[in-house]
Amino acid sequence: METLDSLPEELRTRFSADQEKAQWLYAELKKAFGMPVWRSPMPAIDELISTILSQNSNDHNRDIAFERLRKRFPTWDAVCDADVDDVIDAIRPAGLGNQKGRRIQAVLQQIRREHQTLDLDFLKGWEQEKIKEYLLQFKGVGFKTAAIVMQFSLGIPAFPVDTHIYRVTGRFGIRPLNMSVEDCHAYMENLFRPDQYEAGHLNIIRLGREICQARKAQCERCPLRPHCSYYAEQCS
Ligand code: SF4
């Protein structure tokens, strides 16, 4: 995990207040939604490919594309060696097939060339920052994808920030509004404890999908209202 020392000075000055609010948020969402669990964990290489498919897509279409890919090519080696047009065709339901198909094949080919395997378990022995750096080198793999693979497949603590988490944490007020999505990952990893990452990540996403939606924040039914900055400024 990146330490606070690596964050800019102005963040360090507001950190304690943000952390206190983040802990309150965590407890309230746990009361409201319980302890969620991630869908069945997949091998890291599967999660990596699935997360690339999910970009600019939704869970349903991502899953259809992933299933079609696995059905047409029974092994990741087969995807590596396939005609790229067949890969593109298999993943079409996820959208951006041309771009994602080429990227998926390039990622697999590079991993196999460099490590003679498509099993990413070799990463488990590496340090957290080195794993992140390794995953981020691939085109199409950003902070969110790297963090999902680490947290949910490799068992290495990381807090993935998607569009819902970015929006909710900004409105609720546990980060500066102008913070970049990349910096938000490191900040969340400091606001929450590693054992809170999974439930925190999943419950904030649920709040973002069901209540604090992009088009309209339904503050009247939100459990976070008592300490929400957006609510205090806009609605009270
Ligand atoms: S109170 Fe409103 S703005 Fe704040 S987190 Fe809840 S829904 Fe979002």
Q: Which atom of ligand 1 is nearest to the CA of 222?
A: 6
Q: Which two tokens stand for residue 103?
A: 């990227």
Name the average pLDDT for the chain: 93
202-217 pLDDT tens trace: 999 999 999 999 999 9
User: Is the backbone of residue 140 left (phi > 0), alpha (psi -120 to 50) or beta?
Assistant: left
Segments in the chain forming alpha helices (H): 9-33, 44-54, 59-72, 76-81, 84-90, 97-115, 128-136, 143-149, 163-172, 181-191, 197-210, 229-234
Q: Which atom of ligand 1 is nearest to the CA of 211?
A: 7
> Length of the chain, please?
236
User: What is the mean pLDDT of the segment spanning 189-195?
Assistant: 96
72 half-sphere exposure, CB direction, 13 A CA radius:
19
pLDDT (0 to 100) of residue 38: 78
Q: Which two tokens stand for residue 41?
A: 């964990």
User: How far is it, in rounded angstroms, from Cα 47 to Cα 211?
Assistant: 27
Q: Which atom of ligand 1 is nearest to the CA of 229?
A: 4
CB of residue 174 inside a 6 A radius of ligand 1: no
100-137 pLDDT tens trace: 999 999 999 999 999 999 999 999 999 999 999 999 99
- pTM of the predicted model as reported, rounded to 2 decimal places: 0.89
Q: Which residue has the tokens 């910096």?
A: 183
Confidence band of 11 (pLDDT split at 50, 70, 90): confident
CB of residue 25 inside a 6 A radius of ligand 1: no
Q: Are 166 and 205 contacting, i.e. CB atoms less than 8 angstroms apart?
A: no
Residue, of 56 and 6, whose pLDDT is higher: 56
> Residue type for 228, please?
C
Q: Treating both helix axes as pointing N-terminal to C-terminal, what angle do 44-54 and 59-72 enclose, rounded to 10 degrees?
A: 130
Q: Which residues contact 52 (CB under 8 A, 6 or more apart)?
A: 100, 103, 104, 107, 140, 141, 145
Q: Whose CA is nearest to atom 2 of ligand 1?
A: 219
User: What is the mean pLDDT of the segment spanning 19-37?
Assistant: 96
140-149 pLDDT tens trace: 899 999 999 9
The DSSP string of 127-152 is -HHHHHHHHHTSTT--HHHHHHHIII
Q: Which residues contact 223 (CB under 8 A, 6 or more apart)?
A: 28, 29, 31, 32
CB of residue 224 inside a 6 A radius of ligand 1: yes
Give the distance (Å) from ligand 1 centre to CA of residue 21.
Answer: 13
Around Cβ 52, how many Cβ atoms within 10 Å? 26
Domain architecture of the chain: domains with CATH: 4-37+159-234 (1.10.1670.10), 44-154 (1.10.340.30)
